[in-house]
């Protein structure tokens, strides 16, 4: 089962714009539509982290977000198997 780890946010502006679980549900729906069931299975078993990656003071402040899926090497290696 996927574990989502959200980075702590000091201000409301630093919060991810939608609930992380909803974002991942939407991502999985897009992957499913494209026929990537093996990738979905791998990501569903991962630990996922969403957090602020970078901040720029452009246009009143711009946040860049990072999405990290932590999977074990053996499972990742099996992606290339036919």
What are the tens digits of pLDDT across the range 14-23? Answer: 677 788 888 8
Closest CA to 44 of 36, 56, 53: 36
- Whole-angstrom distance, CA of residue 44 vs CA of residue 24: 9
Domain ranges of the chain: 3-7+17-80
The mean pLDDT of the chain is 80
Per-residue pLDDT at 70: 92
Q: How confident is the model at residue 10 (pLDDT cuts 50, 70, 90)?
A: very low
Q: How confident is the model at residue 29 (pLDDT cuts 50, 70, 90)?
A: very high
**Higher local confidence (pLDDT), 19 or 28:** 28
- Whole-angstrom distance, CA of residue 76 vs CA of residue 21: 22
Write out the two tokens for 4: 């989502």
Whether 82 has a pLDDT exceeding 60, the answer reads: no
Whether 8 has a pLDDT exceeding 70, the answer reads: no
- Give, in degrees to the nearest 5, the angle at Cα 20 between 11 and 26: 140
The torsion defined by the Cα of 75, 18, 36 and 4, in degrees rounded to 10, comes to: 10
């Amino acid at each position: 089962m996927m574990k989502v780890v959200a980075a702590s946010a000091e201000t409301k502006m630093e919060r991810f714009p939608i609930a992380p679980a909803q974002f991942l549900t939407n991502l999985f729906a897009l992957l499913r539509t494209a026929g990537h069931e093996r990738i979905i299975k791998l990501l569903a078993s991962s630990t996922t982290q969403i957090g602020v990656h970078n901040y720029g003071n452009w246009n009143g402040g711009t946040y860049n977000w990072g999405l990290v899926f932590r999977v074990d090497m053996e499972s990742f290696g099996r992606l290339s198997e036919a």
